[in-house]
Structure 1
Amino acid sequence: MRRPMLAVLTVAAVALVATATAAQAATTYVVATDGSGNYTTIQAALSAAKSGDTISVKAGTYRGQVSIPAAKSGITIKGATGTSSDIVITGNVPQSTGGATGSATVLNLAANTTITGVTIANTYGIGSQALALYAGGDRQVYRNVRLLGRQDTFLSWGGTGSKQVRQYVYKSYIEGDVDFIYGNGAVVIDSTTIKSLDRGSSNNGFVTAAATNATNRYGILITRSTLQGPSATQTVALGRCWHAGNAADAIGQVLIRESTLGGHIRQAGAWQDMSGFSWKTCRFNEYNNTGAGATHGTSDRPQMSASTAAGYTSQKYLAGADGWNPVQP
């Protein structure tokens, strides 16, 4: 007669433990420069946070590097106001002194992270590579973010060899001049404004520099986006072929599809050689673009066919072996 009651109590106890665990996983830490939150720096909040936690950042300017180590997976950092320009994470360290990891204003090596509603900037300016964001973890999502820099603004990097990380950037803003979207990850940049800055030259830089490993089908996809530029027409290339460390198997892959290209994009020479490697050794294509910078009339602007493009969607770039699909309609 008593055993059923014990079973009910045991089930109830398990339910209480599960509820407590869920509540613990949902902890939100508030960061505010004026001391009105739990912490005054994002880094301090990250030190306390566990997988599943959220860091809500109040309006303000936060200086110095924010580093999210690989052990801090599953964390969300979100701007509290929903307006990305209200929350600015900024640094000015060049790669010439800090290296790629030390230069990055945000160094995100963790998987399953989400960052929304913030600005990430490196204000070093012209003269050296200077990263705003180093995205080195798998299954990362960036929504409503502003990535500001000059050379090497946004790096997606999975390490040497065929290992690949995946990132999804949605309804955001990225600006820079030289190779400012680059790396060997599988990156989808969707419904985003991409602005090339004016260097006061007939060469105003390159939007992408992909180093995709030859064994990986997918690299950088820019889709449903708008490419804007400086006033000088036909001075910006869509990308160049980066063989990182002179690796022969870094056969970059870039597709720009269903996007609007401004008149700053070169008509001929939109894809460029780099460090002695011909752009033709890489996998560069366009599909169904519009705008003054889009052309279908020159042999050095390869256009992907509709049948092939069906295999190069956002979902396919990001699916991997686990079927990850963060893509917004």
Structure 2
Amino acid sequence: MTELQDHGKARHRRKKTTLQAGVPLALAAAGVMAYGTAFGVFGENVLPKAAAATVPAWADDTADGFASVHALGQQGTYGGRGGKTVTVRTLADLEKYATAREPYVIVVAATIPMNPKGKEIKVASDKTIVGAGTSGHIVGGGFFLGQGVHNVIIRNLTIRDSYQGIWNDKEHDWDAIQMDGAHHVWIDHNDLRHMADGLIDSRKDTTYVTVSWNRLSQNNKTFGIGWTENATADLTIHHNWFRETEQRNPSTDNVAHAHLYNNYLQDEPGTDITSSYGNYARGRTRMVLENSYFEGVDNPVIKDATAGLVQRGNVFTRTSGRNESGGTAFDPKAYYDYRLDNAADVPALLRSGAGPQRSIGTMASAKTAAAAQSTLTVAKDGSGRYKSVQKAVDAVPAGNTSRVVIRIAPGTYRETVKVPANKPHITFEGTGRSRKDTVIVEGRAAGMAKPDGSGTYGTGGSATVAVEADDFHARNLTISNDFDEAKHRHLNGHQAVALRTAADRIRLDALIISGDQDTLLLDTAGKDRTGRVYLTNSYVVGNTDFVFGRATAVIDRSVLSLKKRWDGTSAGYVTAPSTPAGRKGFLITRTTVDGDVSARSFHLGRPWHAGGDASLDPQTTVRDSILGAAVKAAPWTDMGGFSWKHDRFAEYHNDGPGAGAAGGDRPHLTDAQAAAQETADWFGDWKPTGG
């Protein structure tokens, strides 16, 4: 088989949106800041279209990488799109539709045991097989894609447990997914583990394959590619988490173009499984290996003398043995476009984003779909559907998969609001002419006793608005905590949060977030969880640690407004990051830091090692911003016995009376360092929009 000449540009698996920063902020001007909500969307060109009213967003997803390339008469990989969508809960139904000649989108909504054990369903072309949220499990067998089978998506499934008790099993060829001579296959967001043979076998010139965002674990021979004398196969392998897998992670034998990037290979010490090797380029393989993270892996990268392997940007932690590269490979961008995440961010990205996702494969009921597509209204005077914001949140169905916009009429809503973790895709939108017109406010503080006698609120519990659900948006309103410090000066615990976020992909635009101590808590759902926040065109008001937490957050084109303390003194700290090691912390860019306070009275930040945790690595970068005279000449300071100099605090290209030259008490980024600390570097695969 000769090398094909009709490689084309990729069609990407998700509709892309431009990074919407809003209308530039006129920093010196008073009044309301404008905000934008325009989107730029790439069309899908000739791919079959789904009916927008009946098919959820995930059904429009198409592959990226080599699976997106137009070749062999196939225009990218889009699976069963355009065919009927069916939901299956039995082996008989799954096999019926997977082997049919017609295109189908097959939603697996139950645990399906294979009978006999080791059975591999022979999937036909033009199929999407997708798990419904996290409920689709295939137990004891898997799928087989034979010669010429093409345009297949296997997605969001857990395929597991055909293991027969023999570690190096030579008798049971029972894989999760085996492909012999197939092409245009996308394997995405699956959990593959504990099989008798391979988790993925790509054999006999199988080509135009993308394997992305999967968890592969508890296996010996994990992911093998080859079983051919030809060097014609093209595969993209990105954002996969290989954990406790001994060999073939993957092994690529005679692969013409193997592009591996942003994968996480992890071997934890003290377990029963020890890695033999990581990525392996065999035979005449040409491999490009970029921005992957290897942790505890023996022989992390190896190659044959005949293979070409180009490495760049990879991170190796606690690895030993062979780590090789050499020869020539290829330029992946000659075949498709792609964007690299920073290697240091990969473990956190994949812990939260790899494997089955609740938002994929779910088919909302008519009632849920109607609620999800509607706009809910809130008005104090009863002219809306609800009189309180919390009542509107309560009305959103749990597990919602489409955006719900809660439009809040002008007025002051004295209440606390919680958006629980099982209600993603909610937007709060004030409908007034100004963000000042719509106000959500309460006055709790950390040291206040709860009415039920169960103790005090604590810092997190003091929040006026608490967001625990992913993909939350808010715009054109004020969120405030008006706790009266002077009145409660003897209270033990003056922390009073206006807004707390503890979720991922939070978009905040054109807001006023107002308080005194601990105004804006940017947190995550857990220390090992990702929490990304993009705040634009907004005012954040406070005095002590008033932007704090462990989230990965960008504050862009905004005003950090400094205020005096309750007793009239001017002294404070803008940020108190508690960033976990290996993560991004706070990036403040194109923003003004100033207020009606004394000159040289405020620090830009200090390191919060929450609970005395020395493993944390707090980060604040302030760049391309205007610093008022209130900012101290030595803008960083210690906290709780931890020195800011041991963590990550820096400036770059700031201006204004509070700016200053680089020095021992005022580190500045180099141009090269600044190039890696821009907004896009903070967010990885997330492209925040005005939404």
Partner of 1:296: 661
Q: Return 18-27 or 296-305, whichever deviates more.
A: 18-27
Partner of 1:192: 558
- Paired with 1:213 and 1:201, the residues of 2 have a C-alpha distance of 35
CA displacement at 1:204 relative to structure 2: 1.2
TM-score for both structures, normalised by structure 1: 0.90
Partner of 2:600: 234
Q: Could you list the per-position Cα deviations for residues 148-195 of structure 1 after superposition, in whole angstroms to 9, with x for gaps in the alignment?
A: 000000011115533230010010000100000000100100000111
TM-score for both structures, normalised by structure 2: 0.43
Partner of 1:282: 647
- Contact 1:242-1:252 within 8 A present in 2 as well: yes
- Contact 1:168-1:327 within 8 A present in 2 as well: no
Q: Return 221-230 or 282-291, whichever deviates more.
A: 221-230
CA displacement at 1:325 relative to structure 2: 1.6
Which residues of 2 match residues 40-189 of structure 1 at below 5 A?
Answer: 40-50=387-397, 51=400, 52-97=403-448, 98-126=457-485, 127=489, 128-189=494-555
- Paired with 1:254 and 1:157, the residues of 2 have a C-alpha distance of 15
Q: Report the structure, 1 or 2, having the larger helix content.
A: 1
- Contact 2:468-2:525 within 8 A present in 1 as well: no
- Paired with 2:469 and 2:394, the residues of 1 have a C-alpha distance of 13
Runs of 4+ off more than 6 Å: 19-22
The 1:289–1:34 alpha-carbon spacing in structure 2 relative to 1, beyond 3 Å, is same
Query: Which amino acid in structure 1 is aligned with residue 678 of structure 2?
Result: T
- Paired with 1:305 and 1:212, the residues of 2 have a C-alpha distance of 22
Q: Return 178-187 or 294-303, whichever deviates more.
A: 294-303
SS in 2 for 1:266: coil
Partner of 1:310: 675
The 1:125–1:256 alpha-carbon spacing in structure 2 relative to 1, beyond 3 Å, is farther
Of 209, 225, 230, the residue aligned with 2:576 is 209
- Contact 2:372-2:396 within 8 A present in 1 as well: no
Q: Could you list the per-position Cα deviations for residues 58-106 of structure 1 after superposition, in whole angstroms to 9, with x for gaps in the alignment?
A: 0000011010000110011100124210000000000112113320000
1:252 aligns with 2:624: no
Query: Which amino acid in structure 1 is aligned with residue 644 of structure 2?
Result: W
- Contact 1:125-1:150 within 8 A present in 2 as well: no
- Contact 1:196-1:204 within 8 A present in 2 as well: no
Partner of 2:171: none
- Paired with 1:133 and 1:150, the residues of 2 have a C-alpha distance of 12
CA displacement at 1:259 relative to structure 2: 0.3
The percentage of counterpart residues that share the same residue type is 37
Partner of 2:688: 326
SS in 2 for 1:89: strand
Query: Which amino acid in structure 1 is aligned with residue 514 of structure 2?
Result: L
- Paired with 1:146 and 1:48, the residues of 2 have a C-alpha distance of 26
- Paired with 1:140 and 1:95, the residues of 2 have a C-alpha distance of 24
- Paired with 2:444 and 2:680, the residues of 1 have a C-alpha distance of 35
CA-atom RMSD in angstroms:
2.0
- Paired with 2:581 and 2:52, the residues of 1 have a C-alpha distance of 50
- Contact 1:234-1:264 within 8 A present in 2 as well: yes
Q: Which has the bigger relative contact order, CA under 8 A and spacing at least 6?
A: 1
- Paired with 2:468 and 2:52, the residues of 1 have a C-alpha distance of 34
- Contact 1:162-1:215 within 8 A present in 2 as well: no
Query: Which amino acid in structure 1 is aligned with residue 581 of structure 2?
Result: A
SS in 2 for 1:317: helix
Q: Which runs of 5+ in 1 are unaligned?
A: 1-13
Of 373, 376, 379, the residue aligned with 1:29 is 376
CA displacement at 1:238 relative to structure 2: 0.4
Partner of 2:586: 220
- Contact 2:562-2:597 within 8 A present in 1 as well: no
- Paired with 1:212 and 1:37, the residues of 2 have a C-alpha distance of 41
SS in 2 for 1:43: helix
Partner of 1:7: none
- Paired with 1:214 and 1:36, the residues of 2 have a C-alpha distance of 49
- Contact 1:164-1:184 within 8 A present in 2 as well: no
The 1:317–1:297 alpha-carbon spacing in structure 2 relative to 1, beyond 3 Å, is closer
The 1:173–1:124 alpha-carbon spacing in structure 2 relative to 1, beyond 3 Å, is same
CA displacement at 1:297 relative to structure 2: 4.7
CA displacement at 1:298 relative to structure 2: 3.5
SS in 2 for 1:88: strand
SS in 2 for 1:29: strand
Larger radius of gyration: 2
- Paired with 1:69 and 1:159, the residues of 2 have a C-alpha distance of 11
SS in 1 for 2:418: strand
Q: Could you list the per-position Cα deviations for residues 281-327 of structure 1 after superposition, in whole angstroms to 9, with x for gaps in the alignment?
A: 210000000000000154211000111111111111112xxx10216
Query: Which amino acid in structure 1 is aligned with residue 470 of structure 2?
Result: A
Q: Which runs of 5+ in 2 are unaligned?
A: 1-50, 57-365, 449-456
Query: Which amino acid in structure 1 is aligned with residue 539 of structure 2?
Result: Y
